[in-house]
Amino acid sequence: DTAVSQTPKYLVTQMGNDKSIKCEQNLGHDTMYWYKQDSKKFLKIMFSYNNKELIINETVPNRFSPKSPDKAHLNLHINSLELGDSAVYFCASSPRTSGGGETQYFGPGTRLLVL
């Protein structure tokens, strides 16, 4: 029944490691997103992706890379983790409609702690 799911929910790792966070949506949506929410609760877009286009927020380090095996999945891979990467990462999805709206639905979040 879960609309947008993410795994893992919690991730604790050492600096310098490489890790991946998985996201799946069963809503049949066309577009998926990754957001980062920092300790001050500020939610900021990292990537948006549909089958045709990847839009990258220019402030995102290239250590972060989205990977989409199919329309229902958008995974986030992070190389050489740094302390500042500690945050909550939210996946979201939205339909592509012509009538506006395109409400985004969020996954439960992955709490990443880099030690």
Which residues are near another protein by CB under 8 A? Answer: 31, 33, 35, 40-45, 48, 50, 55, 90, 96, 100-109
**CB closer to another protein, 77 vs 106:** 106
* CB of residue 40 to another protein, shortest distance in Å: 7
* CB of residue 73 to another protein, shortest distance in Å: 18
Distances (CA, A) of 114 to 20, 52, 82, 107: 13, 33, 7, 21
**CB closer to another protein, 45 vs 72:** 45
How big is the CA angle at 55 (ends 102 and 107), to the nearest 5 degrees?
A: 50
Distances (CA, A) of 5 to 28, 58, 69: 13, 26, 16
88/38 Cα distance (integer angstroms): 7
- State the CB neighbour count (10 A cutoff) for residue 22: 18
* CB of residue 21 to another protein, shortest distance in Å: 14
* CB of residue 85 to another protein, shortest distance in Å: 19
**CB closer to another protein, 11 vs 107:** 107
